[in-house]
Structure formats: C-alpha cells, structure tokens
Amino acid sequence: MEDLQSIKKRIDSAGNLQTIVSTMKAHASSNINQFQNAAFSSMNYRRILDMGLYIVLSKDNDLNITEKQKEGSTISIIFGSDHGLAGRFNERIASFALKEIQQKEEDIIIVVGQQVFSRLERDLKILETLTVPQTREGITAMVQKLLFEIDQLMEQKSIKEIILYYNKPSQDSVFEEETERLFPLDLKKVEGNQIGWESNSIPTYLMDKETIISDLIQQYFFITLYRSLCYSLASENASRLASMQAAEKNIDERLDELNAAYRRQRQNQITEEINDIVSGFKAIKKSTGED
C-alpha cells in the first residue's frame, strides 16, 4: 500500500497537470473564436469576389481560360498542425488525403504542419513542409508564401490542377475533412450561382476583360487559401479543446480517487497511531500494576 507521501506527490502532480490542461483549454477556446471570425470575414470577401466575377462573366460565356488541362502535374496542399494534443485532427486529414491522392511521378505535395507531415512522409513524396501560423496575423504571411510557391511551380512546369485538403468546423461533429479545387477556377459554378447585385445599378468595367479576370482570380486564390487555413486552424483548436475537456474530466476523476485514497490512508495511519498509543498505555498500566 502506498504511503501518504507517495499519494501526496501524485495529487500534486495531477493538480499541476490540471492547471496546464485548463490553460491549454482556455487558449484553444480563444483561438477558435479568432480563427472562426477570420474565416467569416474571408467568406464575406469571397462573396464580393464572386459578385465581381459574375459581373465580368455575364457579358458572354467564354470560359476557356479556366478549362482544366488534360496533361500536367497536380499540386496537392495538405493542412495539418505543428503541435500535438489535438485529438485525431492530424490522423484524420492524413488518412483522408491518402485515400484521395493517387500521386504520380510528376505530381507535387506541399504539407503545412509537421504533425501531418510525419503521418504522410512514408506514403507520399513531399516537396516541402511549411510551419503553421499560430496567430491571425501570421495567416496572411503564410498564404503569401504558398502563393509564391505556386507561382514558382507554375512557371517551371505545366500544372493541371491544384487541390486543397483541410479540416473544416462542423455542427454535427467537431470537424470534418474537406477537399477543394483551387485551380483551375470553376467559373461556370460561379456563373451558375446567379449572384444578384444588391443595388438597381449594375456596375460595369473599363479594364481589359482578361486583365480584370486575372486580377480577380489572384484575389480568389488568396482568399481561398486564407479561408482554408482559417478553417484548419479553427478545427485544430476545436479538436484540442475537446481533447483538453476529456483530459480535464479524467484528471478530475483521478484526483477524486487519489484524495479518497489519501483520506483512507490517513485514517488508517491515525487509527494505527491511536492503537499504538492505547497499546502503549495498556502496557505501561500493566507494568505499573505489577510493580
């Protein structure tokens, strides 16, 4: 049976762990709001871009500039996390990507997050691994870096398509796996949305059509990557929050067990001490009576 000192050390250790878990839970909760707000803002901007594309495309139906090439490399970008303690966040997106990706020799894999990289490196040939931004401010810099990498690759070789893989917050569960085609842009889908302009005056444009479409598509690439990263970060923190809540519950239960064990052991020790005192008193009384 453990002595009181050993049990007390375990109680102190569990208490320290409880403090760490509570801190991580609060941090994850704060991050969820931060990244969900960023994703919501990006959705509003994306809506403006869709409206702009609709206005430009409503002039005619020439969508050849976005037709998918039959030959070329596929770029797959997989979003995960750098840090652990996030439940099955990385395992699920890694498993999802492995099922979806049939990598050919010319295909390119870019991974964002060391944790998901470690789960993919044995099965995929990964060109580059990038670190995950930990703040809303860092997302823009990361997206710009990704766009630079994409531009470099598109200059070096023919790119057939660019596919994104990420986790997205879900109402039914903590998160769900998502895939999205970044390139070529599906302008037919945008046109099919029949986005209406909010005012009675339909805007027009004076710039060359190809130039304005090119500019809008660049912004579309940026905001789509930005939104995907926000979704991934919000999902990561939601998964971490759920893990910390489960850990906190387990720690609370363990502390209850340890405190109960401490009280029992303390009571046993007190009982033994009382018995020793009584036995000693009886022995002294007996010895005195014999004298």
> In 109-203, where does DSSP find H-type helix?
114-120, 136-156, 187-192
Task: Specify whether the CB–CB gap between 116 and 135 falls below 8 A.
Answer: no
C-beta separation of 223 from 39 below 8 A: no
Which residues, in sequence order, are CB contacts of 266 under 8 Å at separation 6+?
4
Q: Which residue from 187, 220, 184 is spatially nearest to 59, judged by alpha carbons?
A: 187
Category of 119 on φ-ψ map: left (φ > 0), alpha (ψ -120 to 50) or beta: alpha
Helix (H, G, I), strand (E, B) or coil at 204: coil
pLDDT digits (tens, 9 = 90+) for 65-87: 455 667 899 999 999 999 989 99
- Low-confidence winner among 1-5, 18-22, 286-290 (lowest mean pLDDT): 286-290
In order of 2, 84, 271, the CA distances from 266 in angstroms are 11, 39, 8
**Beta strand pairing status for 159-169 and 175-183?**
antiparallel
Query: What pLDDT does residue 75 have?
Result: 97
Please report, for the chain, the start and end positions of each structural domain, with discontinuous segments joined by +: 4-24+244-290, 31-241
Instruction: Judge residue 204's burial from the number of C-beta atoms within 10 Å of its C-beta, 0-12 exposed, 13-18 middle, 19 or more buried.
Output: exposed
Phi and psi for 158 in degrees, rounded to 5?
-80, 125
Summarised one tens digit per residue, pLDDT across range 38-58 is: 888 888 888 888 778 777 766
DSSP code of residue 179: E
Check residue 172 and give its pLDDT: 80
Q: What is the mean pLDDT of residues 251-274?
A: 88
Q: What is the pLDDT of residues 123-140, one digit of tens each?
A: 999 999 999 998 888 999
Q: What is the pLDDT of residue 164?
A: 98
Mention every residue, 6+ apart, whose C-beta is less than 8 A from residue 285: none
* Percent of all residues in the chain with a pLDDT value above 70, rounded to a whole number: 88
Find out if CATH 3.40.1380.10 is the number for domain 31-241.
yes
What is the CATH code of the structural domain delimited by 4-24+244-290? 1.10.287.80
What is the predicted pLDDT for the residue at 64? 46
Give the three-state DSSP class for 42: helix
Say what the pLDDT of residue 20 is. 92
List the Cα angle 196/143/152 in 5-degree steps: 105
